[in-house]
Amino acid sequence: MTEDAAAQPYLRLGLIGWPLGHSLSPRLHAAALTAAGLQGEYCLYPVPPLPEGSAALADRLEDLRQGRLDGLNVTIPHKQAVLSALDELSPAAHAIGAANTLFARRGRLLGHNTDALGFLADLARLGFTGQNALVLGAGGSARAVGYALLGAGWQVIVTARRLEQAQALASALGSSSTALCVEPFEPAALTQPFSLIINTTPVGMFPNVAASPWPDGVPFPIGAAVYDLVYNPAETALVRSARAAGLSAATGLGMLVEQAALAFELWTGQVISRAPLWQAIGVEVQTI
């Protein structure tokens, strides 16, 4: 071992959530560590949903607070559950009501949300531009997407099968009705002229790969781009049908890469190229 390597801290990073068997995060962050020339590891910490997982969640957060871990990502179902245990939230995490990136400073636990910026960065990479967007779903991912779009000056319509959930999202984001509207999940709302349609629901995710959040028989708005946050499978039923209709469409794999890179930057202070992260998951670059 060289003197420089011996002097470097060994970073202990990881992911808490449930289930984690198909997570790509260890591959992404192993590539990030290599690209940054850092020593470390990224481990999976399966934590069952609460209340069953309460003790395990508390243990992992205490490991972070005491310096036994250097950084944690958080995924479903704990992005909101961790909030009450944190000492400080970034503005984005506070507004979205969810944290996906945690670290400690002087014994205080800090929570950030890199999903929103990761989403916007991937839209820019894909060249998806416009002024008005339709968001399918009203869960935690929809909050991150809505927050990102509103901050970037988009007009946003949120629609969900549970209208009350969409209304709660609008209330949480605190937007005026001129920027964020809620409409019932009906063809009249879906077929308006949109620049971008974003699926934030898990519909179509492996293993239910034949399912689509877009209703059968309802045409896509002409000229809209489609962004499906689901990235497993590599081409979802929604993306496939949008492309068959002549639309540009992409999955959320790029958002996954971007949010991982942004989390790594928060933990280490190092900005890394996205190319090795794409290569680590077997993709040179996702095309539309």
Residue 32 is predicted with a pLDDT of: 98
pLDDT single digits (tens) 27-41? 999 999 999 999 999
List Cβ neighbours of 93 (8 Å cut-off, separation of 6 or more). 83, 99, 111, 112, 113
What number of residues does the chain have?
288
Summarize pLDDT for 49-93 with one digit per residue, the tens: 999 999 999 999 999 999 999 999 999 899 999 999 999 999 999
Instruction: Evaluate the omega torsion of the peptide bond into residue 207 and state whether it is cis, within 30 degrees of 0.
Output: yes
- Average pLDDT in the 3-31 region? 87
* Residue 25, pLDDT above cutoff 70: yes
Residue 281 has pLDDT above 80, yes or no: yes
CB of 97 closer than 8 Å to CB of 139: no
- pLDDT, residue 288, reads 47
Q: β-strands 249-251, 225-228: how paired?
A: parallel
Domains defined along the chain, listed by start: 3-114+259-280 (3.40.50.10860), 129-247 (3.40.50.720)
* Active-site amino acid positions: 79
- Decide: 139 and 165 in contact? Cβ < 8 Å: yes
Q: What is the mean pLDDT of residues 238-242?
A: 98
Is the pLDDT confidence value at 7 over 70? no
8 A C-beta contact, residue 81 and residue 50: yes
pLDDT at residue 283, as a whole number? 78
Say if residue 4's pLDDT is above 60. Answer: no
175: pLDDT strictly greater than 80: no
pLDDT band at 273 (very low <50, low <70, confident <90, very high): very high
